[in-house]
Amino acid sequence: MEGQNNPQTTSSGMEPPRNAMRSRELWKGKPDFLLSVIGYAVDLGNVWRFPYICYQNGGGAFLVPYLLMAVFGGVPLFYMELALGQFYRTGCISIWAHICPIFKGIGYAICVIALYTAFYYNTIMAWALHYLLSSFHSTLPWTTCDNPWNTPLCALYSPGETNNTWTNTSTSPAEEYYLRHVLQVHQSSGLNHLGSVNWRLALCLLLIFTVVYFSIWRGIGTSGKVVWVTATLPYLVLFVMLIRGVTLPGAWNGVLYYLKPDWTRLLNSKVWVDAAAQILFSLGPGFGVLMALASYNNFHNNCYRDALVSSGVNCLTSFLSGFVIFTVLGYMAELRKQDIETVAKDIGPSLLFITYTEALATMPASSFFSFIFFLMIIALGLDSTLAGLEGVVTAVLDEFPRVLLRRREWFVLGLVFLCYVGSLTTVVYGGAYVVKLFEEFATGPAIITVVFLEVIAVSWFYGVSRFCGNVQLMLGFFPGLFWRMCWMVLSPCFLLFIIISFLSVAPELKLFQYLYPPWTTVLGYGMGLSSFICVPAYMTFYFLCTSGTCKQRLLQSITPQRMIHAEDTPVIQL
């Protein structure tokens, strides 16, 4: 795939851009960069979304479309963004002056999407922090039915015992703890009446954002050290939980259920859509993060190898997480004398906060395992949040350096405060409904469309030959035919396939037996459109503000601009 040295580079790609040599801080070491990229790509979705999607779509058979979508779609896009950021050494807004100026609205759209993500993603960490603090109790509070928040329907599941009070209408202590104590969702009737702010979660959220601020306020010098903990801790916990899981009774039944292939499912188009969406959202191109992180690399860093290593670690982590989750689900099925499909009915956060916590509570040293598990959840979330906000900070500071570069700490403080205020809508009593709405509409279709336009702009307007020439300047080799075909044809088709699949059927949202009203679909698409509108709005603005005839304006709009500096200054090593 690497290809061979090839002299066929365009004149514009024969020398590094001047801004590649300008004063800019660098990663202190290669591990700082790799851990930041891996930490960003490996997020909460690897733990709860991949295992569920895998078993739902044919078990081991799902790995076939998943790996194919990774090879022909996800990894080429991942590689492309790392190369762009490293070559031009700038964020996702300013970079478009070098590629195709009229597409600069993509950068602004990415920043809006990143804000929407921060509005709900950190709330899940606040839930985990609530659980982590509760793990210090000698008796975990989600193991009994005699708490103030419990209802008469609460019952312990004790099959085979004569005093078993469990019925089909019963609810478990773990479910009531999550719904009635942590979320307090019973105090909201839905999106029509969300209720007031849940002060416990608001304080947990404030603590999360405080950690976020002090991790990124000084740039990669601080965040590069934080990821040594947040990116490595999850793997330590995963291996501990895996070792504990495989020793539980019924664990191997869970593993077999997870991996048992159902090859007939490959004939279902939904399986391929789920595989494509999972790998795209897992690797995370399109959020401006990969460009931002790579922009602090040495110009000749081997970003090709970094892309392969990071993508491989991401996929392996998803696969490993499946074993961690399903060994415990197999144990729960054995404990309840039920089949695994019944036990695994919860999806998304509920899989972690209800099913998994209930299983942890039945183990010896339950408080310890609960503590490290939720510490892992927080670490996974922090990595992605730090990288996501760093992508916004880098983009805005590179676009307005004279105003903001010397005021980074204040800008980051304002950004974090804005994200916290926006997140308060997700820590009201009905906040879980808002989280679901953001997750389904505010980021999904919008980010896929943005990535599609990005790869079209780079491959067809900027030119794949010119881009490959840039890569050759950095790495010493011209990308091979495989990569060129992916960037020009396969990756755009991969993205277009996901876009059409997403937009062809409006999702019917349901959460905790609450069916979202029809108007939320309109609201959801409006949220997605509010970020994407930046692209056509900037195109119109740029075209109208450019002088000349229509033909001259169009030509200038798609012609890369060269950044000219009065003098070159050496790169700063922090």
- Contact in structure between 494 and 323 (CB atoms under 8 Å): no
- Look at residue 562 in the predicted model and tell me its pLDDT: 63
pLDDT-derived band at 563, boundaries 50, 70, 90: very low
- Asked if residue 134 belongs to a known ligand binding site, the reply is no
- Contact in structure between 224 and 27 (CB atoms under 8 Å): yes
Q: What values do phi and psi take at 356, rounded to 5?
A: -70, -40
Is the pLDDT at 119 greater than 90? The verdict is: yes
Using DSSP's 3-state secondary structure scheme, residue 163 falls into coil
DSSP notation for 400-456 = SHHHHGGGHHHHHHHHHHHHHHHHGGGSBTTHHHHHHHIIIIISHHHHHHHHHHHHH
- Asked if residue 282 belongs to a known ligand binding site, the reply is yes
Residues 6+ apart with CB under 8 A from 543: 102, 553, 554, 557
Which residues are 515's β-sheet partners? 510
- Look at residue 572 in the predicted model and tell me its pLDDT: 34
531 CB neighbour count, 10 Å cutoff: 23
Is the pLDDT at 491 greater than 80? The verdict is: yes
- Asked if residue 41 belongs to a known ligand binding site, the reply is yes
Instruction: List Cα–Cα distances, 163 to 156, 160, 332, 362, 526, in angstroms.
Output: 10, 9, 20, 19, 53
Does the CA dihedral 359-361-362-363 come out positive or negative? positive
- Asked if residue 295 belongs to a known ligand binding site, the reply is no
Say how far apart CA 388 and CA 403 lie, in whole Å.
Answer: 22
Say how far apart CA 220 and CA 85 lie, in whole Å.
Answer: 15
- Asked if residue 46 belongs to a known ligand binding site, the reply is yes
- Look at residue 341 in the predicted model and tell me its pLDDT: 77
Buried (b) or exposed (e) across 218-250, using 16+ Cβ within 10 A? ebbeebbebbeebbebbbebbebbbebbbebeb
Is the pLDDT at 192 greater than 70? The verdict is: yes
Mean pLDDT of 210-231: 91
Is the pLDDT at 569 greater than 80? The verdict is: no
- Asked if residue 43 belongs to a known ligand binding site, the reply is no
Contacts by 564-569, CB closer than 8 A, 24 or more apart? 564/18, 565/18, 565/19, 565/22, 568/18, 568/21, 568/22, 569/21, 569/22, 569/23
- Asked if residue 68 belongs to a known ligand binding site, the reply is no
Between residues 4 and 209, which one has the greater pLDDT?
A: 209
Which residues are 25's β-sheet partners? 572
- Contact in structure between 373 and 237 (CB atoms under 8 Å): yes
Instruction: List Cα–Cα distances, 5 to 13, 243, 369, 422, 473, in angstroms.
Output: 14, 47, 52, 50, 10
Instruction: List Cα–Cα distances, 444 to 19, 275, 284, 462, in angstroms.
Output: 33, 14, 11, 26
Is the pLDDT at 162 greater than 60? The verdict is: no
- Look at residue 573 in the predicted model and tell me its pLDDT: 36
Between residues 286 and 538, which one has the greater pLDDT?
A: 538
Whose tokens are 């659980």? That residue is 131
Domains in the chain: boundaries: 19-573
- Look at residue 164 in the predicted model and tell me its pLDDT: 57
> What does the chain come to in residues?
574
Say how far apart CA 404 and CA 393 lie, in whole Å.
Answer: 10
Does the CA dihedral 155-158-159-163 come out positive or negative? negative
Say how far apart CA 171 and CA 46 lie, in whole Å.
Answer: 28
Using DSSP's 3-state secondary structure scheme, residue 154 falls into strand
Say how far apart CA 452 and CA 559 lie, in whole Å.
Answer: 20
Using DSSP's 3-state secondary structure scheme, residue 561 falls into coil
Mean pLDDT of 483-509: 86
- Look at residue 240 in the predicted model and tell me its pLDDT: 92
Mean pLDDT of 204-220: 94
Q: What does pLDDT average to over the chain? A: 86
Burial category of 103 from C-beta neighbours within 10 Å (exposed 0-12, middle 13-18, buried 19 and up): buried
Is the pLDDT at 1 greater than 50? The verdict is: no
Give the residue among 41, 49, 39 at the shortest CA–CA distance from 439: 49
| H or E element at residue 515 | strand 514-515
What are the tens digits of pLDDT across the range 64-83? Answer: 999 999 999 899 999 999 99
- Look at residue 332 in the predicted model and tell me its pLDDT: 86
Say how far apart CA 478 and CA 467 lie, in whole Å.
Answer: 10
- Asked if residue 383 belongs to a known ligand binding site, the reply is yes
Is the pLDDT at 564 greater than 80? The verdict is: no
- Look at residue 17 in the predicted model and tell me its pLDDT: 62
Q: pLDDT exceeding 90 applies to what percent of the chain? A: 48
- Asked if residue 380 belongs to a known ligand binding site, the reply is yes
Outline where 26-94 has alpha helix (H).
Answer: 30-41, 44-56, 63-69, 75-88
- Contact in structure between 372 and 142 (CB atoms under 8 Å): no
Using DSSP's 3-state secondary structure scheme, residue 25 falls into strand
pLDDT-derived band at 505, boundaries 50, 70, 90: confident
Least confident of 26-35, 118-127, 372-381, 503-512: 503-512
Between residues 146 and 294, which one has the greater pLDDT?
A: 294
1.10.1660, 1.10.4160, 3.40.390, 3.30.70: CATH of 19-573: 1.10.4160
Residues 6+ apart with CB under 8 A from 316: none
Whether this prediction's pTM lies above 0.95 is answered by no
Mean pLDDT of 381-392: 93
Instruction: List Cα–Cα distances, 424 to 157, 181, 430, 523, in angstroms.
Output: 35, 18, 11, 19
Q: pLDDT exceeding 70 applies to what percent of the chain? A: 91
Is the pLDDT at 90 greater than 50? The verdict is: yes
Q: What values do phi and psi take at 151, rounded to 5?
A: -110, 170
Least confident of 298-307, 450-459, 494-503: 494-503
Give the residue among 566, 571, 559, 510 at the shortest CA–CA distance from 98: 559
